[in-house]
């Protein structure tokens, strides 16, 4: 007997054994999952699959360069202020709350400071002081993870 014909759902099927209805466990296995359960199962599976496909490209790799040479490579996990010395003075790079920006720079036009917090994949370049900050996708390495 299919489960949806049984009156009272669970209790009826639970008592079926007691009522003397002889059924083999194997053929019943499909009926353990109710139609709504299939709905929940497939919705959950779709959610998981969607999350796997849409795993955000986490940009958490900050590369600070000075005169073309890598000054510091770091992540966004720790809030800090990095002072980068250059020909004009010190450029302050701020990492705060998972974001990075150039906080202060001795250059006259302040272009890289006005750029504000960097988006993923962006780079801020302070030309007169020869400092650049790039925010890129993480390449997992054993030192940081």
Partner 1 sequence: MTASTIELRASLEDRRIAALAAAGIGLTLAEAAIPLPIPGIKPGLANIVTLLVLYRFGWGAAAWVSLLRIVAGALFLGTFLTPTFVLSLTGGLASLLVLAAAIRLPQAWFGPVGLSLLAAFVHIATQLAVVDVWLMPHVSLQGLLPWFLAAAWLTGLANGLVVARTMNLPQPECRREVAA
Structure tokens at 95: 């990492």
Neighbours of 107 (CB within 10 A): 19
- For the bound state, the minimum distance from the C-beta of residue 101 to partner 1, rounded and expressed in Å, comes to 17
Give the C-alpha separation, 48 to 54, whole Å.
10
Mask: binding to partner 1, 6-45, rule CB under 8 A, as x and -?
--xxxx-xxxxxx------x--x---xxxxxx-xxx--xx
Angstrom distances, CA of residue 93 to CA of 23, 52, 57, 133: 72, 33, 23, 8
Of these, 24, 26, 27, 56, which contacts partner 1 (CB under 8 A)? 56
Residue numbers of the site for partner 1 (CB under 8 A)?
A: 3-4, 8-11, 13-18, 25, 28, 32-37, 39-41, 44-45, 47-48, 51-52, 55-56, 58, 60, 77-79, 97-98
């Amino acid at each position: 007997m299919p489960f949806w014909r049984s009156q009272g759902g669970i209790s009826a099927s639970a008592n079926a054994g007691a009522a003397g209805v002889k059924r083999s466990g194997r053929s019943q296995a499909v009926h353990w999952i109710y139609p709504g359960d299939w709905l929940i199962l497939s919705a959950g599976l779709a959610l998981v699959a969607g999350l796997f496909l849409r795993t955000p490209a986490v940009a958490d790799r900050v590369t600070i360069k000075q005169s073309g040479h890598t000054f510091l490579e770091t992540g966004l996990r720790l809030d800090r202020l990095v002072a980068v010395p250059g020909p004009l003075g010190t450029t302050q790079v701020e990492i705060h709350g998972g974001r990075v920006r150039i906080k202060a720079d001795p250059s006259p036009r302040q272009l890289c400071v006005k750029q504000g917090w960097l988006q993923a994949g962006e780079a801020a370049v302070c030309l007169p002081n020869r400092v650049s900050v790039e925010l890129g996708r993480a390449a997992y390495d054993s030192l940081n993870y």
